[in-house]
Amino acid sequence: MTTAKICGLSTPATLDAAIRHGASHVGFVFFPASPRHVTFDKAAELAARVPGHVAKVGVLVDPEDEMLEQAIASAALDVLQLHKVTPARAAAIRARFGIELWVAVAVRTRGDLDGAHAFVGVADRILYDAKTPDPAALPGGMGLRFDWDLLDGFRHTLRWALSGGLDPANVAEAIRRTGAELVDVSSGVESEPGTKDDARIAAFLKAVAAL
C-alpha cells in the first residue's frame, strides 16, 4: 500500500484536511526563502493538531544545528527531511539528533540517482525529487517532474519516496509506473504558491488510496 505525505502545510484548515483524508505524513517547511515557510511558533501550533498515527516531518535546507534543534523542539518532529546536505553532514545530524532521517536527491539524469548510494547507513529514506534548473532556486516545491523512466531497473539500496510534479491527476500513474511506496506532494495541491487547497488535497489522497 502506498502512503502519502502532504508537504508545506501552514494553516490549521489544510492540515486538518490532510489528516482527515488519510495522509500518513505531514510536512512543515523551515526555510525562509520558501512561500511555505513556517515560524517555530506556527509549527508548534500546527503540530499540536496532529494525531499520533500521522508523522510530522520537518523540511530543512542545509540546516545548522541550532535550526534543527528549534525545529525538532517546536513541532515535536518525527522525521527530518534534508535537502542539499552531504553524506558526512547527514551522518553528523543523525548521530546528534537520533531521529528518522530522509535525504532528498535531486534528479535530472540516471546518473543523479546514484547519489542515493552515498547515504546508505546514514538515511532512513531517500526522496527522489526533480532537479531545479537554477542551483540557487528552491530545492523543491516548484511543480517540476523528472522522467520516471529513469527509475526503471534502478537498484534501490534504501527505502525511497517519489516527489516532484505530482498532482491529483498523475499520482496514480506515477505509483503504477514506479512502484513508489510513498509519494510526496506540495505545489500539486495548491491554488497558488504556498496556498494549499482542501479539495486538491482530498483528490490527491483519494487517488492514492484507490490503488
Considering the candidates 112, 114, 124, 129, report the single residue annotated as catalytic: 129
User: Could you tell me if 18 and 9 are in contact, meaning their C-beta atoms sit under 8 angstroms apart?
Assistant: yes
Q: 87-118 pLDDT, tens per residue?
A: 999 999 999 999 999 999 999 999 999 999 99
pLDDT at 153 over 70: yes
pLDDT at 140 over 90: no
pLDDT confidence tier of residue 210, bands split at 50, 70 and 90: very high
What is the number of other CB atoms lying within 10 angstroms of the CB of residue 29? 28
> What is the SS3 string spanning the chain?
CCEEEECCCCCHHHHHHHHHCCCCEEEEEECCCCCCECCHHHHHHHHCCCCCCCEEEEEEECCCHHHHHHHHHHHCCCEEEEECCCHHHHHHHHHHHCCEEEEEEEECCHHHHHHHHHHCCCCCEEEEEECCCCCCCCCCCCCCCCCHHHHCCCCCCCEEEECCCCCCCCHHHHHHHHCCCEEEECHHHEEECCEECHHHHHHHHHHHHCC
The listed CATH number (2.60.40.10, 3.40.640.10, 3.20.20.140, 3.20.20.70) that belongs to domain 3-209: 3.20.20.70
Q: 58-94 pLDDT, tens per residue?
A: 999 999 999 999 999 999 999 999 999 999 999 999 9
User: Could you tell me if 198 and 14 are in contact, meaning their C-beta atoms sit under 8 angstroms apart?
Assistant: yes
Q: Is 7 a catalytic residue?
A: yes
Confidence (pTM): 0.95
Considering the candidates 7, 78, 167, 184, report the single residue annotated as catalytic: 7
pLDDT at 136 over 80: no
Angle between helices 12-20 and 40-47 (to 10 degrees): 40
